[in-house]
Amino acid sequence: MSIVDATTGPRQAESVLRPGAMLGVLGGGQLGAMFAVAARRMGYRVTVISDVDGVPAARHADRFEVVNYNDLERLAAVAAKIDAVTFEFENVPADAGRAMAAVTRVHPSPDVLAITQDRGREKAFLTEHAFRTTPHRLVESRESLQQAVADLGLPGVLKTASFGYDGRGQMRLAADADLAAAWNTLAADRCVYEAWVDFAMEVSVVVARGLKGDVAAFAASLNAHSRHILDVASCPAPLTPAVAAEAKEMACCIAEKLGLVGVACIEFFVTRDDQLLVNEIAPRPHNSGHLTIEAAATSQFEQQVRAVCGLPLGSTACVSEAAMANLLGDLWSEGEPDWAAALAVPGVRLHLYGKGAARPGRKMGHLTACRPTVADAVAAVIEARRRAAPAVATEGRVY
């Protein structure tokens, strides 16, 4: 399964889109908003396409279109007025991308989207191209789940093949008695069962690939989670030089095999004997890459603009050690957080996404700090978050 990200619309001969062109982003969340900010700073116009109103990205758009992602005719009509379309999240129908690709450039290609939005297809792609991943089995019935457990043993993790993120759509299985309940609870026709990996850490590499096949990867970030949601990301990750180089090389190779045009995040498990296992591919900017806005020569969002427009990719060099802490809706449980207190921590930057209701577990913003050492940066964002809501934030975790 080798994918080539080729445009099929009438504008495919135009390899470089100059400032002034109209870029479309499918999805209106914070990733779309930060893409729009980067694009408009570079002189591009932006159309945000969302299936719901009142989204953060709309505030930064030249045009905002509310379209059902299954309304292929309407999507094609909107795309016909756009010079290139990209994605801010992968959980949209691949057919939506194909409908737009019939009339304009779409990056990453709908075929890349189809692979990465389904864990079964994604694992098959990784296996076919000999990238190391967790031992796994595709599960399509309770009986095949029993066989998968017999093959790979317990404990393990059962994940829905699609529409799973931030811990949603997955359950840990520790005993045979867990199988039936997990299958019934997830209620999916297709799942992936993965053997349990006793890993030392989880890291991610954001990689970009341009129209001409040029590839550039950022340094790996260390990801710390709370309740299956990214809590703190820090860069560079504490890897040996050899493993750090291998992570970037693997990310670049995956982008090349996919034929990616745009930005993707490759999540890795690092085993206790320094083996890298690919966990997931996200064909878009990633939460762990937000710190590149302050800490890298080129942010992941500017890199996405460059790749989609056919411009040379920017430098991925780190300009500082850095850390990023998520601000979840839980932080608002006692009222509006004290941002003045948070920003009193030297070097801390605040990013709020402009979302409405602050619900538990909802990503409302993030804090970034650039410091001489990673440990200093992590301590700064954790302290700033604690000061923002001392009754809620404790020990770098939001509850």
**How much of the chain, in percent, has pLDDT values that exceed 90?**
88
The answer to whether 161 and 144 are in contact (CB under 8 A) is no
Q: What is the mean pLDDT of residues 372-397?
A: 88
Reported as a single tens digit per residue, the pLDDT across 320-350 is 999 999 999 999 999 999 999 999 999 999 9
Ranges for all domains in the chain classified under CATH 3.30.1490.20 = 135-195
For residue 241 the two structure tokens come to 């030089």
Fold classified for 22-116: Rossmann fold (3.40.50)
String of DSSP letters for 269-334: EEETTS-EEEEEEESS--GGGTTHHHHBSS-HHHHHHHHHHTPPPPP--BSSEEEEEEEEGGGGTT
Length of the chain: 399
pLDDT at 228 over 80: yes
Place of tokens 């504490």: 238
pTM summary value: 0.94
Predicted confidence band of residue 398 (pLDDT cuts 50, 70, 90): very low
- pLDDT for position 7: 40
Average pLDDT in the chain: 93
How far is the C-alpha of 370 from the C-alpha of 352, rounded, in Å?
A: 18
Long-range contacts at 182-187 (CB < 8 A, ≥ 24 apart): 182/145, 182/158, 183/142, 183/145, 183/158, 186/158, 186/160
Rounded average pLDDT over 292-308? 98
Pairing of the two strands 63-66 and 45-50? parallel
Residue 367, CA distances (Å) to 139, 290, 292, 329, 339 in order:
39, 9, 12, 14, 10
The predicted pLDDT at position 162 comes to: 85
21 closest CA partner among 309, 311, 313: 309
**Residues paired with 323 in a beta bridge:** 234, 369
**Tens-digit pLDDT profile for residues 119-152:** 999 999 999 999 999 999 999 999 999 999 999 9
pLDDT at residue 385 greater than cutoff 70: yes
Q: Which residue has the higher pLDDT, 91 or 114?
A: 114
* Res 164: pLDDT: 63
Architecture per CATH, domain 135-195, reads as 2-Layer Sandwich (3.30)
Classify residue 57 by its DSSP letter: G
Q: CATH 3.40.50.20 residue ranges in the chain?
A: 22-116
Residue 263 pLDDT > 90: yes
pLDDT band at 4 (very low <50, low <70, confident <90, very high): very low
Looking up tokens 């085993």, which residue turns up?
271
Task: Over range 370-377, report the average pLDDT.
Answer: 98
Tell me the per-residue pLDDT of 53-90, one tens digit each, with 9 for 90 and over. Answer: 999 999 999 999 999 999 999 999 999 999 999 999 88
Weakest mean pLDDT among 73-87, 155-169, 219-233, 291-305: 155-169
Model confidence at 394, in pLDDT bands (50, 70, 90)?
Answer: low
The DSSP output letter for 15 is -
For helices 94-101 and 72-79, give the axis angle rounded to 10 degrees: 40
Give ranges for CATH 3.30.470.20 in the chain: 199-398
Task: Write the DSSP string, 89-120.
Answer: -S-S-HHHHHHHHTTSEESS-HHHHHHHT-HH
Confidence at 15, pLDDT banded by 50, 70, 90: confident
| CATH architecture of the domain covering 199-398 | 2-Layer Sandwich (3.30)
